[in-house]
Amino acid sequence: MCYGVLMKTLMIRDEVYEKLKSLKRKNESFSDLLERLISQIDNRTKLEKYFGILSNEEAKKLESEVFRVRKELTKSMASKFDKVLKELENNH
């Protein structure tokens, strides 16, 4: 029993209970489950306020820049990886 914590009883349909039960993790209470699900909704809502703030043209430019930077980073990492491999080969 949890002392100092107010408890509430919720009336839900059996099929809703079964769905919630299937989402519940091992050793997770229904309160913890509901808190986790609400947190996920809150996080999604925070992101949704940014949807649509870029025009299509701005979004395409941003996407192109992201791909360009990723490509450069991949090349840089591959080059560094090659150097490390050569050093390892030379030391053995």
pLDDT in tens, 8-35: 999 999 999 999 999 999 999 999 999 9
Residue 73 lies in a domain: yes
Is the distance from CB of 76 to CB of 62 less than 8 angstroms?
no
Number of domains in the chain: 1
Residue 17 lies in a domain: no
Please state the rounded mean pLDDT for residues 47-68. 90
Q: Between these two residues, 3 and 18, which has the higher pLDDT value?
A: 18
Residue 61 lies in a domain: yes
pLDDT at 52: 86
pTM of the model: 0.48
Is the distance from CB of 77 to CB of 85 less than 8 angstroms?
no
pLDDT at 64: 96
pLDDT at 3: 63
Domain span at residue 76 reads 54-92
Residue 88 lies in a domain: yes
Residue 89 lies in a domain: yes
Is the distance from CB of 24 to CB of 30 less than 8 angstroms?
yes
Got the DSSP string for 16-70? Answer: HHHHHHHHPPTT--HHHHHHHHHHHHHHHHHHHTTTT-S-HHHHHHHHHHHHHHH
